[in-house]
Amino acid sequence: PLCMFVSYMAKAAHIGSAVPAHQDNGYFNLIPNHALTFWIALDECTEENGCLRVIPGSHRHGILPHKASGQVGNSSCLSEPPNPIEAGEVAVLLGRGDCSIHHVDTIHSSLANKSDHPRRGFLLTYQSVRCEVDPVGLTRHQKIVDEMHAKISVRRT
């Protein structure tokens, strides 16, 4: 495996925003999709502070269509997100230092942080050495990113 992506995610107390339903591979566009994201909790992750929420088994459907999310920090989201209740979404409750692992095609999201405490995490994504970037998917994702940048530029003027 190769470490391809490292990130720090933070939701401040009371103001940490929701993250819309998406798939990490909607950003990465890896083929084959042999990659995993490791989410390491730096704080306790609860429903109140916006823990990760996943739809078990959703990785079996490949990359679904994404669109610009309209939310700074989250360039894309699913074009037609599934109903969380009907899809069997589950909250991933973690203690400090715990780790969850999900496939890059797993549909996941999180709610806003409504607690008095931050929710921070360290993310590592590992891919197989056999993975390549799908140029068609990458071009499609770049259009989403460009659309987001255009919206942000309009808001600033």
pLDDT higher than threshold 60 for residue 153: yes
Q: Which residues pair with 35 in a beta bridge?
A: 127
What confidence tier does 154 reach under pLDDT thresholds 50, 70, 90? low
Rounded Cα distance between 85 and 101, Å, is 22
Report pLDDT for 90. 98
- Tens of pLDDT, residues 136-146: 998 988 888 88
pLDDT higher than threshold 80 for residue 148: no
Report pLDDT for 130. 97
**What's the rounded mean pLDDT across residues 18-27?**
93
Q: Which residues, 6+ apart, have CB-to-CB distance to 109 below 8 Å?
A: 18, 19, 20, 21, 22, 52, 53, 81, 84, 89
Q: What is the DSSP letter of 60?
A: G
Closest CA to 12 of 50, 62, 59, 54: 50
Copy the structure tokens of residue 24: 């990490």
pLDDT averaged over every residue in the chain: 92
For residue 32, whether the previous peptide bond is cis, meaning omega lies within 30 degrees of 0, is yes
Please, are residues 35 and 4 in contact by the beta-carbon 8 Å criterion? yes
- Tens of pLDDT, residues 66-103: 988 877 667 789 999 999 999 999 999 999 999 999 99
What confidence tier does 157 reach under pLDDT thresholds 50, 70, 90? low
Copy the structure tokens of residue 154: 């309009």
Only one residue has tokens 């999201």, namely 109
Please, are residues 82 and 55 in contact by the beta-carbon 8 Å criterion? yes
How many CB atoms sit inside 10 A of residue 148's CB?
A: 19
Rounded Cα distance between 99 and 96, Å, is 9
